[in-house]
Amino acid sequence: MSSQPAPSPTAPPSLTEVETHGVERIPDADRTATPFDLFRLAFGGANTFSTCVLGAFPILFGLSFWQGLAATLLGVVVGALILCPMAVFGPANGTNNAVSSSAHLGVHGRVVGSFLSLLTAVAFFSLSVWSSGDALVGGAHRLFGLSRGDLSYVVAYALFAGLVLAVCVYGFRFMLFVNKVAVASATALFLLGAVAFAGDFDPSYAGSFTDPVASDAGMFWPSFIGSALIVLSNPVSFGAFLGDWSRYIPATVPRRRVIGAAFLSQIATLLPFVFGLATASVIASKAPDYVDPAAPDYVGGLLAISPGWYFLPVCLLALIGGMSTGTTALYGTGLDFSSVFPRLSRVQATVLVGVVSIGFIFVGRFALDLVQSISTFATVIITCTTPWMVVMMLGFLVRRGWYDPEALQVFNRRQRGGRYWFTHGWNWRGMTAWWVAAVIGVLFTNIPGQFVGPLGDLANGVDVSLPLSLAVAAVLYLALLWLFPEPRAAYGPGGARLVRTIETPVEPITGPGAPAADQSPRPVL
C-alpha cells in the first residue's frame, strides 16, 4: 500500500468561471461532486414542462387515466432500471460515457456513442424549446394580449435557446446551480398546479377502451405498450449523458450510491409525468379538440383549462423547467463533440452544436412540421441507444469494472494502439451486437398512428422493439465474446468474468504524448 496521501480536493470554481475540462480524465483533486448532485442534475433535467408533454401521450393514445398511470409507472420504473447502471462509468474513468465506450466498441467505435448522444440532445433540446416557448407565448397572450403570430414564437424560441446555450458555455458548475434552483421551484409549481386543477380532475376518465368487445379493443395493447415506451424514452435518453455529470464524482464513492442516485432521480420524475397525464385527461374532458391525435396541442389545451391565476406559474414552469432540460441535453453533446473534433474546445463545440440545434428547432417548427413527430423520433433514437447501453453494461460486468485511463484517451489525443485498439480501432464484437440489435428494434417498432416498422405488425400490433433489441444485444454480445475472445490485456488484474480471453500482443500507444513503452497505466477499480 502506498504511503502517499490522497490528493486534497481543490475548492470548486465559481459559477461565472467558464469550465475548462473537456473529456480528458478529470483530476482526482477536481472531482468534488456528490451522488446528490447527480440526482439533482438528472431529476432537474426531467422535472420539466417537456416531460409533461410526454406524460400526456397515454391520453392521446386513447387510454383512460388509470390505464395511462399504469403505462407511466411501467415506463418510468423499467427505464430507471435500464438507465441507472450507466452512472458508474463517470466515477470509474473520470470522463464521459462515449469515451468510456472505447473499451467495448474500440477506439474508433466510440463515435457511435457520440452520434447517439447528438441525436438525443437535438430531440430533447428541441422538445424543451418548443414546449416552453409555446407556453410562454400562450401565457403572455392570455395575460397581456401578446400576439400569437410567428414573430412572437421566433423571439421566444431564440431568447430561450440563447439562455440555454449561455448556461452550457459556462459549464458544469453553472448548470448544477440552475438545476438546484429548478428542482425546488419546478416541484413547487407542479404541486401548485395540483391545487389549480383539483376541482376539474376526474380519475374516472374512461378513454377509448372501455368496451372489451368494441371494434377498436384490439388497439388497447399497442396503445398501452406504445405509451409506456414513450415514457421510457425519457429516462433512457439520459444514458449517454450520465457520465458527463458523474465524472465529477470521486472514484472512491461506493457504486451503489451512484447507481441509487440515478435510479431515484428517474422515479422522482413521476411528478411531471403524472401532472401531464392528469391535466391531459382534464383537457380531453373539457377541451377535447386540443388532444385530437391528428393535431395535438397539449400546451394550448393546458392554458385553455387553467384558471387565470395559474397563467404566470405556467410561464415560470416553462422557463425554469425548459432551462433545465435544455442545458442537460446540450451540455453533454457539446462536451462530446469536442472529443470527436479535438481542434474544437468544449466551449467552441458547445456553441457549434447549439447553433445547429437552434437551426433545427426553427426548421422543424416552421417548415417541416416536425413537432408532432417528436415522439416517434425520440422512440426510434431510444431503440438504437438501448442496445449500446447493454453492450456498455455487460462490458463493465465482464471487465470487472476495470479500465485503462490512458488507452481510453487514444482517440481524443489522435494516437493509435493500446489495449482498446482491437482491429484498426474497431471492436467488431461490440459493434456487431449494437447495430444488429438496433436494426431489429427499428424493424419491429410500432407506434400507433405514427411509425410502424416493416415487421411492426408481427406481434399483433404490439411494439416489441425494446425488449427484442435488449435481448438480442445481450445474447449476441456475450456469444461473440465467448466465440471470439478479446485479448487478455483488455481486462484487468482480476481477469475476465463469464467470457474467455486469448493472449494476443497489444499494439503500443504511439502518437502525440504517448507513454513510454514500459509505462504501466494506472488501473481504475
Q: What is the CATH number of the domain that holds 325?
A: 1.10.4160.10
Does the pLDDT of residue 18 top 70, yes or no? no
Q: Which helix (H) or strand (E) holds 286?
A: helix 270-286
Does the pLDDT of residue 370 top 60, yes or no? no
Question: What integer pLDDT is reported at residue 373 of this predicted model?
Answer: 62
Question: What integer pLDDT is reported at residue 211 of this predicted model?
Answer: 60
Number of structural domains, the chain? 1
413, 394, 384: which is closest to 118 by C-alpha? 384
Question: Would you say residue 224 lies in a domain?
Answer: yes
Question: What integer pLDDT is reported at residue 525 of this predicted model?
Answer: 35
User: pLDDT digit string (tens) for 237-253?
Assistant: 888 888 888 988 999 99
CB atoms within 10 A of CB 216: 11
Question: What integer pLDDT is reported at residue 429 of this predicted model?
Answer: 97
User: pLDDT digit string (tens) for 25-58?
Assistant: 888 888 888 999 999 888 887 888 778 888 998 9
Compute the distance between CA of residue 330 and CA of residue 125 in angstroms, rounded to an integer.
7
**Burial degree of 413 (CB within 10 A; 0-12, 13-18, 19+):** middle
Give residue 156's pLDDT band: very low, low, confident or very high (50, 70, 90): confident
Question: Would you say residue 513 lies in a domain?
Answer: no
Question: What integer pLDDT is reported at residue 518 of this predicted model?
Answer: 39
Return the higher-pLDDT residue of 215 and 136: 136
Average pLDDT of the chain to the nearest whole number: 82
Give residue 4's pLDDT band: very low, low, confident or very high (50, 70, 90): very low
Question: What integer pLDDT is reported at residue 495 of this predicted model?
Answer: 92
Question: Would you say residue 318 lies in a domain?
Answer: yes
The conformation of residue 501, written as its DSSP 8-state character, comes to: E
User: pLDDT digit string (tens) for 333-368?
Assistant: 666 676 677 677 777 777 787 788 777 777 777 766
Percent of all residues in the chain with a pLDDT value above 90, rounded to a whole number: 34
Report residue 328 as a C-alpha cell: 442537460
Question: What integer pLDDT is reported at residue 433 of this predicted model?
Answer: 97
Question: Would you say residue 306 lies in a domain?
Answer: yes
**Region of poorest pLDDT, from 139-143, 199-203, 392-396, 448-452:** 448-452
Domain span including residue 156: 28-207+218-502
Does the pLDDT of residue 266 top 70, yes or no? yes
Question: What integer pLDDT is reported at residue 272 of this predicted model?
Answer: 93
Helix (H, G, I), strand (E, B) or coil at 446: strand
Question: What integer pLDDT is reported at residue 220 of this predicted model?
Answer: 84
Query: Contact 524/403 with Cβ under 8 angstroms?
Result: yes
Question: Would you say residue 288 lies in a domain?
Answer: yes
Question: What integer pLDDT is reported at residue 11 of this predicted model?
Answer: 52
Return the higher-pLDDT residue of 65 and 412: 65
Instruction: Report, as an integer, the average pLDDT of 274-289.
Output: 91
Helix (H, G, I), strand (E, B) or coil at 447: strand
Identify which of 28-42, 206-220, 321-335, 440-454 has the greatest average pLDDT: 28-42
Question: Would you say residue 230 lies in a domain?
Answer: yes
User: pLDDT digit string (tens) for 508-521?
Assistant: 888 876 655 434 44
DSSP class per residue in 350-408? HHHHHHHHHHHHHHHHHTS--GGGHHHHHHHHHHHHHHHHHHHHHHHHHTTT-B-HHHH
Longest dimension (CA), the chain: 75
User: pLDDT digit string (tens) for 284-300?
Assistant: 998 888 777 666 778 78
Question: Would you say residue 377 lies in a domain?
Answer: yes
Question: Would you say residue 515 lies in a domain?
Answer: no
Does the pLDDT of residue 278 top 80, yes or no? yes
The conformation of residue 445, written as its DSSP 8-state character, comes to: -
User: pLDDT digit string (tens) for 162-177?
Assistant: 877 777 776 656 666 7
Question: What integer pLDDT is reported at residue 407 of this predicted model?
Answer: 92
Question: What integer pLDDT is reported at residue 517 of this predicted model?
Answer: 46
The conformation of residue 484, written as its DSSP 8-state character, comes to: S
CB atoms within 10 A of CB 502: 10
